[in-house]
Amino acid sequence: MLPLPPEKRQVSPFFVFYLITSAQIGMGILSLPRYIVKSAGQDAWIAIIITALSIHVILWMVYQILNKGTNDITVTHKELFGKWLGGLLSLALIVYLLLVAASTLRGYIEMIQVWIFPQLDTWYMALILSALVYVYVIGGFRVVVGICCLSFIFNFPLIVTLWFPLQDAQFSHLFPVFDHSAAEILSASKKMTLYFSGFETIFFFYPFIKNARSSQKWAQYGAAFTTFIYLAVTIISIMYFNKNQLIQTIWPTITLWKVVDFPFLERFEYLNLAIWLFNILPSTCLFIWAATRGIKQLFTVKQKHSLIVLLVIISVAAVLLKDREQIQQLNTMLSSVSFYVMYAYIPFVFFYQLIKSKVRKTL
């Protein structure tokens, strides 16, 4: 039996709200409208709602799994599937989280290379970002929660700036509603899953929440808030851009910020790109923290040591992704992986646990 974290390492349940939103909102939102409009056109917002509803159900499943267990997912895995198979599943989940972290990190570096410094070397930026992640994660879970909380405050003004593109928006772009077939909308929904990924980290930080059972409410609110942000960005992008233009624009959300014009600041998007660091940093920190925590539970390696190894691996992975095409490939791969994690793996564990406990009762 692995020990539970002491109370002084735990955080209040409502912090789960910040953890979920900052884990989910990362690089994805910058290119989100483009991918879903490609398949569902002006009905893309319906696809977001469909995915969001399913995410709420899956989040409920995640909590059911963890509530029945006694510690985090690694312990539950071991109880359900035995030492080896359970350990393998936990390891797969850790690798998945690391890949999401690597893709986030590389995505941010790419964005800086395209928008601000074309000459910037990937390794240089990866080094700086890894050092930042190290500083936060080494402080422990409570510090990671702190940066998640701060990022929420830093990023809130960015939502307000969506008002500027709204002035040039064309309402008619949203009509007619339901112009696309169910298959098209569902394929957009499928693409959406990667953008909602990140809440899987609950599997690892669950024991660190006080009265963890009661935190489900906050987790659901967090997912709902993410949905709201995604909806706002997508609907405004659809109204602001022409469909063809939106599909060709790589980062529609940043292009939206291009119209933001203050008397004291001509080009707002550059400031935004800098602020965006506080959007990718907490999610990367959270993913890496979850990975180190998982490794500690599996192999009893000190988090301090595994952290350095993981950061090196992630930086190397980021440097190895040379151009846009490779980044795109990683994202496409991750997109289908996260689809299976959410809609196959989590329900599988949920039902397996349910059946197993039923069987045990009847015996």
Partner 1 sequence: MKAFLFWSVFTLALLFGYSIETKILEDIQHISAIGYDYVDEHRMKGTAAAPFYPPGVDVQPLNAFFTGVGHNVLSILEKQQIQAQRKLATGRLQAFLISKELAKNGVDKLTDPLARSTAVGRDVHMAVVDGSAEELLTFTYPNAPTSAQYLSDFMEKTLKDIVPHPTTHAFLSQYDGFGQDPFLPILEKKEDHIRYKGLALFKDDQYAGALSNKDSYVFKLLYEKSKTGTYEIRFKNKKYISIENIRSKTEYKVSGSQDNPRVAIHVSMMGEVRDASSVVLKGDTLKEVEKEWSKEMTKRAEKIMKKFQELHVDPLGIGEKVRSHFRHFDKEAWKDHYPNVPVEFHMNVRIRNTGITE
Binding mask 218-257 for partner 1 (x = CB under 8 A): -----------------------xxxxx--x------x--
Q: Structure tokens of 20?
A: 């979920």
Residue 270 or 278: the one with the smaller Cβ distance to partner 1 is: 270
Positive or negative, the CA dihedral 92, 222, 276, 133 is: negative
Is residue 170 involved in binding partner 1 (CB under 8 A)?
yes
Question: Could you give the C-alpha distances from 31 to 139, 153, 180, 247, in angstroms and in order?
Answer: 32, 22, 21, 10
Positive or negative, the CA dihedral 54, 55, 56, 61 is: positive
Comparing C-alpha atoms, which of 135, 66, 61 is closest to residue 344?
Answer: 61
Of 172, 211, 300, 362, the one binding partner 1 by CB under 8 A: 172
| Residue 362: CB atoms within 10 Å | 5
Based on its alpha-carbon atoms, the radius of gyration of the chain, rounded to whole angstroms, reads 20
Residue 42 or 226: the one with the smaller Cβ distance to partner 1 is: 42
How far is 59 from 106, CA to CA, in rounded Å? Answer: 27
Q: How far is the CB of 268 from partner 1 (least distance, A)?
A: 10
Residue 211 or 244: the one with the smaller Cβ distance to partner 1 is: 244
Residue 65 or 256: the one with the smaller Cβ distance to partner 1 is: 256
Is residue 258 involved in binding partner 1 (CB under 8 A)?
yes
**Residue labelled with tokens 């965006």:** 276
Is residue 39 involved in binding partner 1 (CB under 8 A)?
no
From the list 15-23, 114-122, 140-148, 350-358, the region that binds partner 1 by CB under 8 A is 114-122
Q: Structure tokens of 102?
A: 């690597």
Q: How far is the CB of 124 from partner 1 (least distance, A)?
A: 6
Is residue 163 involved in binding partner 1 (CB under 8 A)?
no
From the list 31-39, 164-172, 190-198, 314-322, the region that binds partner 1 by CB under 8 A is 164-172
Is residue 263 involved in binding partner 1 (CB under 8 A)?
no
Of 49, 91, 92, 120, the one binding partner 1 by CB under 8 A: 120
Is residue 300 involved in binding partner 1 (CB under 8 A)?
no
Contact 161, 269 (CB under 8 A): no
**C-alpha dihedral, 290 to 292 to 293 to 297, nearest 10°:** 140
From the list 69-77, 141-149, 166-174, 299-307, the region that binds partner 1 by CB under 8 A is 166-174
Question: Could you give the C-alpha distances from 311 to 59, 205, 237, in angstroms and in order?
Answer: 28, 19, 35
From the list 45-53, 167-175, 293-301, 320-328, the region that binds partner 1 by CB under 8 A is 167-175
How far is 336 from 334, CA to CA, in rounded Å? Answer: 5
Of 12, 57, 85, 124, the one binding partner 1 by CB under 8 A: 124
How far is 31 from 150, CA to CA, in rounded Å? Answer: 23
Q: How far is the CB of 272 from partner 1 (least distance, A)?
A: 13
Secondary structure letter of residue 108 according to DSSP: H
Strand, helix or coil at 265?
strand
Binding mask 173-212 for partner 1 (x = CB under 8 A): xxxx-xx---------------------------------
From the list 8-16, 121-129, 140-148, 343-351, the region that binds partner 1 by CB under 8 A is 121-129
- Transcribe 134-178 into DSSP letters: HHHHHT-HHHHHHHHHHHHHHHHHHHHTTHHHHHT--GGGG-STT
Residue 201 or 253: the one with the smaller Cβ distance to partner 1 is: 253
Query: Binding residues for partner 1, per CB under 8 A?
Result: 114-115, 117, 119-121, 124, 127-128, 131, 168, 170, 172-176, 178-179, 241-245, 248, 255, 258-259, 261, 266-267
